[in-house]
Structure 1
Amino acid sequence: MERLGTERQPAVFFKKRLGFRKQRYLFIYSCLLIPLLFFLCIRILPILYSFNISLREWDLLSEQKPFVGLQNFITLFHDPVFLQSIHNTLVYVAIGVPGQLLAGLIIALLLQRLNRSRGLFRTIYFIPYVTSVVAVSWVFRWILMKNGIINALLLHVGLEPQLFLGSPSQSIYWVIASIIWQSIGFQMLIFLTGLESIPSMYYDAAAIDGAGPWQRFRHVTVPLLNPVIVFSVIIASISFLQSFAQVLNMTSGGPLNSTLSMVLHIYNLAFKHFKMGEAAAATVVLFSMILLLSLLQLKVLNKKVDY
């Protein structure tokens, strides 16, 4: 009888432990299910529904939503304004992403060399990132007005005043400059975190081998920062592809649609012209661009480095 009792004790303990594991996993999965359902309802379902809208003649003023297939896409790609918005968006990405990453990396490298007041400078550079986009856009707009501060300084030194945001050839670059200025703090923080995670022994070994500052940066810092660079490039690219608030508040897409972004054009189609079908089709095009560009960047930039 004693042997039988001792044999049953491990079995009972194992059953209790198994029941406790089931309860724990049930609790974990139930906690994960709530945000998953929220994500599906707020993110996935609207995306799928936008695909449905893009295939219909969806006018907010009409009750009929007939299926038109790819007609909305054909109309978009025959629209010179939409093609101009694609061109402008690619300019935002091509100029803004390298400029933003380069500025953030330079400031991070300089801050890494500071021994005192590093936290103060980090806070100062990060403040614009958490400042209202609308406020920053209007400050830049006031500075770059015809009778703004910059033109006043140009006249003071004897130079000709510039149109800035009123020039079809200049305005897009000033919008890009405002976006870069506001996002420097985020990129600086990401790069500074990556720089501080690189072990100093690699730099010591490279210095012993006779590598100079540029060689250490090129062959040690950049390869070991590759995961950070990939993350920053993808985040910055998506941000510039979705440029909206700065464009709307600084130029409203003008002059002559020279700063019109795809997101602003989608906004105009949907809420000014009430063409929800074309707006949804433009959203699908933008979604495809973001997906393809992100996959391409992951393929090209993601390289494994072993030391």
Structure 2
Amino acid sequence: MIARTARTNAAAGWKTIPLRISYRTQRYLFIYLTLAVPLLYFFVTRLLPIIYSFYISFREWNILSPSKPYVGFANYSGLFTDEIFRKSIVNTFLFVAVGIPGQLAAGLAAALLLQSIPRFRGFFRTVYFIPYITSIVAVSWVFRWLLMPNGWVNSALLNLGLDAQLFLLSPRQALYVIALSMIWQSVGFQMLVFVTGLEGIPAMYYEAARIDGANAWRRFQHITLPLLNPVILFSAVIAGISYLQTFTQIVSMTGEGGPLNSTRTLVYHIYKLAFKNFEMGSASAATVILFIIIFAFTLVQIKALERKVEY
């Protein structure tokens, strides 16, 4: 037992009385103190910067000057009158609109194919998962090399009698090419998530459906998809946040969010404002807007996809 001493003033003088803490209290004290350490780390490294960003968003600061004059909502109004900022928001939502359905469809298709083979499942899981754990920069530069005007893909197109494409040099194609590279790299992760969900569906449901004469599409539509809804929700939220925060692929594959700002995303625009133009007030305001977008987007996804499924 842990004992603490307290002194009380008695008539005969000072007297020492042991104060004992029960084993149960000690146990809960240890648990709460252990949980407080990561919570404190989260507060210092995550929550405080968010609060400080809200504070800076209402001030004008060039990061070099100690003065931070209050400007109210001027940073926010300045952003929405900036054509490049509005373009970055549109590009970000285009990434989301293209990336989430493509990533979920590719991951689910790979998981269904993997479930249909009796052997070498572990081998194919490993092969599909390797791109996900590969450096984003490395994958981006491989795609950049393949899609150069004189790269392997254009050489193959010419050999097939087709026209060469600009790909990353085209304002119309660059965004979709980058989204495709992100889908390719994330297929392994989504596949493992969907495989876990598929393995949790009781086999008796499929057996009962076969007895009732349901074909493969009917079983997929009325059994697989409804029971995978929690997995789809998780995958959609994770993919959505990832595409809303697209940055590394833009820098590695286009350099400046080009051509003609066609691939400039909101995160890349924040980077340019903060560390190229040193407009920390505007960058913080854009960060707050991104935070609100991610928060609202996640809530909408949860509300749209969350459905109770009764077994």
TM-score w.r.t. the length of structure 2 is: 0.92
Is 2:77 the partner of 1:70? no
Q: Aligned pair count? A: 291
Is 2:243 the partner of 1:240? yes
Alignment partner for residue 287 of structure 2, among 268, 283, 287? 283
Is 2:62 the partner of 1:34? no
Query: 2:164 and 2:118 mapped to 1: Cα distance?
Result: 42
Query: 1:211 and 1:156 mapped to 2: Cα distance?
Result: 45
Map Cα deviations across residues 168-220 of structure 1 (whole Å, 9 max, x no partner).
00110000000000000100000000000111011111112221111111111
Aligned partner of 2:58 in structure 1 is 55
Map Cα deviations across residues 151-171 of structure 1 (whole Å, 9 max, x no partner).
111122222211110000011
Aligned partner of 2:135 in structure 1 is 132
Query: 1:255 and 1:74 mapped to 2: Cα distance?
Result: 26
Alignment partner for residue 173 of structure 1, among 176, 183, 191? 176
Is 2:150 the partner of 1:152? no
Q: Percent identity?
A: 61
Map Cα deviations across residues 24-59 of structure 1 (whole Å, 9 max, x no partner).
111110100101100111111110110001110011
- SS of corresponding position for 1:69: coil
More strand by share: 2
Map Cα deviations across residues 231-270 of structure 1 (whole Å, 9 max, x no partner).
0000000000000000111013000000001001100110
Aligned partner of 1:274 in structure 2 is 278
More helix by share: 1
Query: 2:52 and 2:67 mapped to 1: Cα distance?
Result: 17
- SS of corresponding position for 2:75: helix
1:1-307 correspondence to structure 2 within 5 Å: 19-252=22-255, 253-307=257-311
Query: 1:87 and 1:264 mapped to 2: Cα distance?
Result: 13
Query: 2:273 and 2:65 mapped to 1: Cα distance?
Result: 15
- Alpha-carbon RMSD across the aligned residues, in angstroms, is 1.0
TM-score w.r.t. the length of structure 1 is: 0.93
Aligned partner of 1:3 in structure 2 is none
Query: 1:19 and 1:179 mapped to 2: Cα distance?
Result: 55
Structure 2: unaligned runs, 5 residues or longer? 1-19
